[in-house]
Structure 1
Amino acid sequence: MSALARLLDVRPGPTDGSWIGPASGPDGKRAFGGQFMAQSLAAATRTVEAGKLPTSMHLQFLRGGEAGAEVDYAVERVYDGRTASARRVEASQDGRLLTTASVSFSVPLAGPEHGVVEVLPQDPDALARTGPVGPAPSMPLDEIDIRVVDDRSAGEFVRRLWWRVEVPLPEDPLLHDVVAAYVCDVYMIDPALRVHGHSMTARTHRSGTTDSSIWFHRRIRADRWNLLETRSPAAARGRAVITGSLFGADGAVAATLVQEGLVAER
């Protein structure tokens, strides 16, 4: 099993509805927010009947976590209907509540479809491999190809983050959704700083994600190229919002993402 698959593979805990997420390491470092997004989603999916896929997830970050420690997840079965289900997930370490999330599931239903672009803005294979835009000590970067392009050509700051997993993944669509929740969280708050000429790496501001949401529209293939295109439409009172669209290799919007983050002067 690859390092990424091990990290996102939660195991049953001691009580009904409890799950344990592996530590991401290294000790003494703050846990990456995408770990909580992905492991919370993974725990929720283990409690839903086959055929129901994630439609939305909303997670609130309450406290920072320890990267070197396992995470306890408690899943509450909020609702189970014929076509839809809902779960509430709480993550904690040593009894300290870190995150709380709500996850919705549904069986695929027939309906109108839109959200496809004819041509994606770049050929990712022609771009230099960059990795994330900042330190990421817990991410298995030898298994995830990340290429970042920042664009101001239209006057607005736009970040285009191309990514794909380079290790074999099972066909299970739930796993690919979990991987997307993990990767797409990486420094998504940074565009709010870039608008003003700052960055996460410069450490000029206190910054970090406070809320993260994702809506799943179409099947995600984590082992093929995906494009996360993000921008920050507003920031005030020490908070900023970032919106993103996740495109698959076919140009279809596979997911929509929104984050709120702390962006405050030190």
Structure 2
Amino acid sequence: MTEALDALLDLLDLEQIERDYFRGRSRSALVPRVFGGQVAAQALVAAGRTVPGDRAPHSLHAYFLRAGDPGAPIVYMVDRIRDGRSFTTRRVVAVQHGNPIFHLSASFQTYEEGLEHQTDMPSAPDPESLPTAAEMLPRHLPADVAERLIEARAAVDLRYADAPPWASVGTAREPRSQVWFRTNGKLADDPLLHIALATYVSDMTLLDSVLLAHGRGGWAVGDVVGASLDHAMWFHRPFRADEWLLYDQESPSASAGRGLGQARIYTQDGRLAVTVIQEGVVRVPR
């Protein structure tokens, strides 16, 4: 296990300070706010700590309310909305400095057999044939920016199927991108942990497809100011975050200073594991 992955797992191992209250720390931020994927993953872990072990998350819906302070702890307050025979519902509010910064609702379900179908996995290059993000970044970004990005993402092996926004500035193309990802090390056999790590990664690249449509490079090159507004995920089938997952992303719309991204996450053998939708602020600096 890499040191970076070990540090990320430590962030997700929340401190329980009361029956339904948990405290999380933050890692150094690339920008002066907490990474949204971290808050979403920690909130999901907090909710999961109050749910019977035979129930796994099947969906989450979240809003980013305020920028998080990376220098202060985050308190996650869990509300036990409902415990049914098959489904459990939890609501989580993340608080810093006395103010809510994030709100999440999550639903958990016991496994059961049912109807089965899925959208076919799109074609994608073999992940092992692609360069790592750590290999690509220094070729396209200033050394200090590339170094910070590599450090921030060191726990995850990201591999772009095509040139990411920061490597194709000025060239508008179809608003679609594909990224393979897996953790840089093996994980324990805890379904909640694998789902939390996929939640963490899901906030890294989803709005890239918005930028591609306009030839923008994003915050890394300073031609766009952005932030996540809301985030929704549906977990369809079991998966492991330490095995290759294809993040197939596209943007159907951008308007009014906002951009919408939607995506599907597939296992390497073609099973549809997760559906993701996110809207974010996407503003051109004036």
* TM-score strictly above 0.5: yes
- What residue in structure 2 maps to residue 97 of structure 1? 100
Tell me how far 1:182 sits from its aligned partner: 0.4
In structure 2, do the counterparts of structure 1 residues 7 and 139 end up closer, same or farther at CA, with 3 Å as the change threshold? farther
- What residue in structure 2 maps to residue 106 of structure 1? 109
- What residue in structure 1 maps to residue 153 of structure 2? 141
The SS at the match of 1:182 is helix
In structure 2, do the counterparts of structure 1 residues 71 and 161 end up closer, same or farther at CA, with 3 Å as the change threshold? same
Paired residues in the alignment total 263
Q: 2:72 aligns with which of 65, 69, 73?
A: 69
Q: 1:17 aligns with which of 17, 20, 26?
A: 20
The answer on 1:229 being equivalent to 2:212 is: no
Give, in whole Å, the separation in 1 of the partners of 2:115 and 2:158: 33
Q: Assess if the C-alpha contact under 8 Å between 2:237 and 2:273 holds in 1.
A: yes
The answer on 1:176 being equivalent to 2:179 is: no
The SS at the match of 2:44 is helix
- What residue in structure 1 maps to residue 221 of structure 2? 202
Q: Assess if the C-alpha contact under 8 Å between 1:40 and 1:73 holds in 2.
A: yes
Tell me how far 1:50 sits from its aligned partner: 1.5
The SS at the match of 1:184 is helix
In structure 2, do the counterparts of structure 1 residues 247 and 64 end up closer, same or farther at CA, with 3 Å as the change threshold? same
The answer on 1:245 being equivalent to 2:275 is: no
Deviation per CA, 1:222-257: give whole Å up to 9, x if none. 110011110100111111110000011111110000
Equivalent residue letter for 1:91: A
Q: Assess if the C-alpha contact under 8 Å between 1:39 and 1:178 holds in 2.
A: yes
TM-score between the two structures when normalised by the length of structure 2? 0.85
In structure 2, do the counterparts of structure 1 residues 18 and 11 end up closer, same or farther at CA, with 3 Å as the change threshold? same
- What residue in structure 1 maps to residue 208 of structure 2? 190
The answer on 1:85 being equivalent to 2:88 is: yes
Tell me how far 1:23 sits from its aligned partner: 1.9
Give, in whole Å, the separation in 1 of the partners of 2:65 and 2:195: 23
TM-score between the two structures when normalised by the length of structure 1? 0.91
- What residue in structure 2 maps to residue 53 of structure 1? 56
- What residue in structure 1 maps to residue 140 of structure 2? none
The answer on 1:8 being equivalent to 2:26 is: no
Equivalent residue letter for 1:177: I
**Alignment RMSD:** 2.3
Equivalent residue letter for 1:215: W
Show structure 2 runs of 5+ residues with no match.
Answer: 138-144, 165-172
**Once the two structures are aligned, what percentage of the paired residues are identical?**
35
Flag the structure with higher helix content: 2
Q: Assess if the C-alpha contact under 8 Å between 2:29 and 2:35 holds in 1.
A: no
